[in-house]
Amino acid sequence: MPKDAEPRRRSTKAEQRAEMMEQILDAAEYLFSKHGLYGVTLKDVATRVGVHHTLLNYYFDDKKTLFDAVFARRAVVTSERRMRALDDYDRASGGKPTVEGALRAFLDTDLDLYIEGGEGWKNYAALGAQVANVPEWGAALMDEHFDPVVLRLIGLLRKALPDCDEADIFWGYHFVTGALMLTLARTGRIDKLSGGVCRSDDFVAVKERMASFMAAGFLSVCDRRSCGQA
């Protein structure tokens, strides 16, 4: 029998379920990234997938459960990648990290996902930017999924800046994550302000600049305060 005439193996119910779950998560991720948690219904997601909305109730109890699943799916990927990058950098630096080196391990590793990962990762980036700015429930999601890797970064920054006031290190991270979330949101504002010189979806340009820019900020603030100039 010719190879292309061989009967195709029928997928199992578990495989069919997994495939349907991915379709649902992809559709929900796209819609949530555009319209937020409250701007999307389960029926909207079902329509985008091409199934009856009752099927979504089979997989998810409610819309928030679906939203949390969407967020968690890629959060674990970026968290684990960044944790490995930070650990690898710590070892490579012999326990003597630089501020920029630590920031590059944290920021560049994340930005690579949005550069290389296709539209799905860009949608997740926009979704993450939304979640990070919702104090009522978004902060809890960020805490749950990202606190360990953020605190690992903070630990490296403490090593790199042993004489820096701890508050300045945490404020520095606050400014870093604020800039990162604005970048991930891809609002298009910088496109208009710059007359097209810069594009909000140009993550490569961001990667080339962000860690260096933020490292200079850390060093400036910590140096001024240690010299009593604050």
CA dihedral 20→25→26→31, nearest 10 degrees, is 130
Q: What is the pLDDT of residue 87?
A: 97
Residue 82 to residue 108: CA distance in whole angstroms:
9
Q: What is the pLDDT of residue 81?
A: 97
At 54, list the tokens. Answer: 């009752």
Go through the domains of the chain in sequence order and give each one's CATH number.
Answer: 11-60 (1.10.10.60), 68-226 (1.10.357.10)
Which of the residues in the chain have pLDDT under 70? 1-10, 225-230
Residue 230 to residue 227: CA distance in whole angstroms:
8
Q: What is the pLDDT of residue 125?
A: 95
Q: What is the pLDDT of residue 8?
A: 61
Please say whether the beta carbons of 83 and 51 come within 8 A: no
Residue 211 to residue 205: CA distance in whole angstroms:
11
Of 163, 148, 156, nearest to 100 by C-alpha is 156
Residue 52 to residue 59: CA distance in whole angstroms:
12
pTM: 0.88
